[in-house]
C-alpha cells in the first residue's frame, strides 16, 4: 500500500464487517488495508494514513484505549465503528478521541458518504502529504484528551439521569 491510504484497524479477533467496509471504500476509489490492532504502530509509521477506521470490539475500556493509542500515533481523523448503542459511550468517544462514530450494522453507502464529507470538511484529498509538510512536523501526533475515571462516572451518571427523565415524560 502507498502513503495516503486509509487503514482499518481490526480490534483483536473482531472481524465483523471488515470485508464489507473494505469493499465499499475500495469501490469508491479509496485504498484500504485492514490491520490487526497489535500491528497498528508499524502500519501507521509505514503507510502514513489519511484516515483511520477503528473496528471496535464492544469492550468499552479496550476500545477507548485503542482509540487513544491511534490518537498518539497519527493526526489522521479516526472513524469508529462499534456495536455499542450506548449513547453515553458514543458521546465520550466523540468528545475525547474519535472524529465520527457509526453503530453496527454499518450501511456501506453511509460510511462512504461520511468519509467523503470528512475529507471535504478538512479540505483534504487522498493524495499523500507533500514531503515538505511532513518534514516541518515529522511524526507529529495529536494528543488524546486525558480521561480521568471520575469523568466517566460523572458522564454516565448525568447522561443516565437525562435519558431516564426523557423516558418518564
Question: CB-side exposure of 55: number of CA atoms within 13 Å?
Answer: 25
Q: Supply the pLDDT for residue 80.
A: 92
CATH number for the domain running over 6-127+142-168: 3.40.50.2300
Q: At what angle do helices 60-73 and 87-96 cross, to 10 degrees?
A: 20
pLDDT score, position 163:
65
pLDDT at 14: 52
Q: Can you tell me the distance from the alpha carbon of 89 to that of 119, in angstroms, rounded to the nearest whole number?
A: 25
Residue ranges of the chain whose pLDDT lies below 70: 1-4, 11-16, 84, 123-156, 159-169
> Which of 96, 134, 102 is closest to 25 using CA atoms?
102
* Inter-residue contact 63 to 56 (CB < 8 Å): yes
Per-residue pLDDT, 146: 61
Sheet holding 51-55, edge to edge: 32-36, 6-10, 51-55, 78-82, 100-103
Domain ranges for the chain, please list them.
Answer: 6-127+142-168
> Given this model, what pLDDT does residue 152 score?
62
pLDDT for the residue numbered 58: 84
Per-residue pLDDT, 13 = 52
Q: What is the pLDDT of residue 36?
A: 85
Nine cell digits for residue 146? 486525558
Q: Which among 89, 66, 49, 60 has a CA at the least distance from the CA of 10?
A: 66
Amino acid at each position: 500500500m502507498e502513503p495516503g491510504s486509509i487503514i482499518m484497524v481490526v480490534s483483536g479477533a473482531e472481524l465483523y464487517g471488515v470485508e464489507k467496509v473494505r469493499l465499499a471504500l475500495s469501490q469508491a476509489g479509496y485504498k484500504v488495508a485492514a490491520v490487526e490492532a497489535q500491528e497498528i504502530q508499524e502500519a501507521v509509521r509505514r503507510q502514513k494514513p489519511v484516515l483511520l477506521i477503528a473496528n471496535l470490539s464492544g469492550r468499552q475500556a479496550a476500545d477507548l484505549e485503542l482509540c487513544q493509542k491511534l490518537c498518539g500515533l497519527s493526526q489522521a481523523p479516526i472513524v469508529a465503528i462499534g456495536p455499542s448503542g450506548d449513547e453515553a459511550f458514543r458521546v465520550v468517544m466523540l468528545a475525547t478521541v474519535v472524529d465520527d462514530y457509526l453503530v453496527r450494522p454499518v450501511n456501506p453507502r453511509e460510511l462512504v458518504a461520511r468519509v467523503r464529507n470528512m475529507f471535504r470538511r478538512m479540505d483534504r484529498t487522498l493524495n499523500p502529504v507533500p514531503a515538505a509538510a511532513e518534514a516541518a512536523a515529522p511524526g507529529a501526533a495529536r494528543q488524546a484528551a486525558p480521561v480521568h475515571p471520575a469523568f466517566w462516572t460523572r458522564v454516565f451518571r448525568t447522561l443516565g439521569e437525562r435519558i431516564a427523565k426523557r423516558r418518564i415524560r
